[in-house]
Structure 1
Amino acid sequence: MPGPVKLYGIPRSRAFRCLVALEETGVEYELVPTDFTEGVKSPAFRAINPNAKIPALVDGETVLFESLAINLYLMRKYGDLWPRTVEDEGRVFQWTLWTATEIEPPQMQWAYNTFVRPADQRDPAEAAAGAERLKAPLGVLETVLADRDHLLGAAYSPADLQVSCVLYTAWFNGFDLAPFPKAKAWLDRCLNRPAVLRARNMREAA
C-alpha cells in the first residue's frame, strides 16, 4: 500500500496553503520539515524540486511543486470540494490564477516592507505602494461578494480556499480591511473553518 502524501516545507511558509488543502480534503499526510535555508539545498530535496523552494508534494509517483498547483491537485483527487461542473472548474482555475497575479505581488510588497524584513531593511514607501496596489483586487472581491457568501455562490469551494489562503498574510498581519467589509467577512468565514484552524494552529504556533 502507498504511504501517506508527503508535504515538504514548514507551516510558516507557502506550505501553509497546502496544509489547509490537506486538512480540508482529509487525506492522510506527513509534513516533512524542510526550511528555507539548509533544507532546500539538500540533494534529496533538489531531486524533488529542482527550484530549491518549498513547498513540494510527493504522492506516490506524483511529484509537484508550486503551492497553488499542489492545492488544485489535492482538491481534484481527494475530498469533496472539487466542483461538479466544467464551468465551475474553470472558475476555480480563474480565481487561482487571479490570486497569484493580482493579490500576491502587491501583498508581498506590503508584507516585506512591513514585517517580513528586518526593520532596517524595510522601505515605508514600498509598503505604502504595495498597500495601495492591493486595494484594487480587494475591491474586486468586495464587488463579487456583494450578493453571495462565497466566490462561486452559496458554498465554500476550492476558489475560496485558494484566494483566502493567499490573503491570510494580509488578514492575519493587520492590513486595513475596513474599507472592504464584505471581503473581510468572507475572509473571517473562510479562515475560521475547522480545517483551516488546524492548519493555522500549526503555523501560528511555529
Structure 2
Amino acid sequence: MLRIHGIARSRAFRCIWAAEEAGLPYEVVPVGFGAEHKPEVLKVNPNGKIPALQDGDLTLFESLAINLHIAAKAGAPLMPAGDDASRVLQWTLWAATEAEPTHQQWAYNTYVRPPEQRDPALARAGAEALAPRLAVLEKHLAAGGPWLLGANFTIADCNLAAVLYGSWLNGFDYAPYPKVKAWLDACLNRPAALKARKLREG
C-alpha cells in the first residue's frame, strides 16, 4: 500500500494522479499546509514539505521522483523501457527545470497569492518566460503525439501536465499553442486525472 503524505491541493495531487494511473492501492495521509514541520512529518520528509511517499521500507520525497517510482512499479506503458525510459526522465526533468519555475511565477502572481500580494509585472514576466518553453512543447507535439513519447500515455505526460495544471485551470492563454492545449485537455480529462481532480477541486 502506497502512503502519500499531503493533501490534494498540494503537489500531492500529482502523486495521487500517478497512483490512479498505475492502478496501485494507496492511501492519502492528510498533511496540510502549516503542518509540514511537525516532527512526525519531518520523519518522512526532512525538508519540511509535502508530499512524501512511504512504500514499505522505502521513503521518498519530491513529487516527480515519487511519480517515477510509482510508474516503475506499474511498468509499461506508464514507465516504458529502453530509450523511452530515458525520454521519460528527460521530460520529467524538463518539467521541473524549464516549465515549473516560470509557470509558478505566473501562478503565484495570478491566482495563488491573495490579490493584495500579487505583482502583475511578475505575472507578465512569468508568462513571457514560459512562452518559449511552450513553443518547444508545441513543436514537439506537432511532430509526433498524441502523447509526449508518441502513441502511449506515460508518466512523462502525467508529470508535465501536472506541472502545467494550474495554468490550464486558471485561464492562461494557450491559444498560441493549440497542440499543447489539446494535449493538456486529453491528459487532464483522463479517468485517473478526473479522480485526482475531484479530490483537489471538490
TM-score in terms of structure 1 length: 0.95
The 2-side partners of 1:153 and 1:80 are apart by 14
- Structure 1 residue aligned with 2:140: 144
Q: Does 1:17 align with 2:14?
A: yes
Pairwise CA distance, 1:84: 3.8
Pairwise CA distance, 1:79: 5.3
- Structure 1 residue aligned with 2:73: 77
Counterpart pick for 1:61 among 49, 57, 62: 57
Counterpart pick for 2:181 among 162, 180, 184: 184
Structure 2 SS opposite 1:144: helix
- Alpha-carbon deviations, 1:41-84, whole Å to 9, x = none? 21111111110100000011000000000000000012543444
Counterpart pick for 2:88 among 85, 88, 92: 92
Structure 1 SS opposite 2:36: helix
Counterpart pick for 2:127 among 128, 131, 136: 131
The 2-side partners of 1:47 and 1:129 are apart by 37
Q: Does 1:120 align with 2:140?
A: no
Q: Which amino acid aligns with 1:91?
A: R
Which structure 2 residue ranges, 5 or more long, are not aligned?
none
Give yes or no for contact 1:26–1:79 (8 Å, CA) kept in 2.
no
The 1-side partners of 2:73 and 2:136 are apart by 30
Tell me: CA distance 1:177–1:135, structure 2 relative to 1, closer, same or farther (3 Å): same
Give yes or no for contact 1:27–1:79 (8 Å, CA) kept in 2.
no
The 2-side partners of 1:171 and 1:165 are apart by 10
TM-score in terms of structure 2 length: 0.97
CA RMSD of aligned residues (A): 1.0
Structure 2 SS opposite 1:183: helix
Q: Which amino acid aligns with 2:155?
A: P
Structure 1 vs Structure 2: percent identity of aligned residues?
56
Give every structure 1 segment of 4 or more consecutive aligned residues whose post-TM-superposition deviation is greater than 2 Å: 78-85
- Structure 1 residue aligned with 2:32: 35
- Alpha-carbon deviations, 1:168-196, whole Å to 9, x = none? 11101110000000110011001100000
The 2-side partners of 1:41 and 1:200 are apart by 26
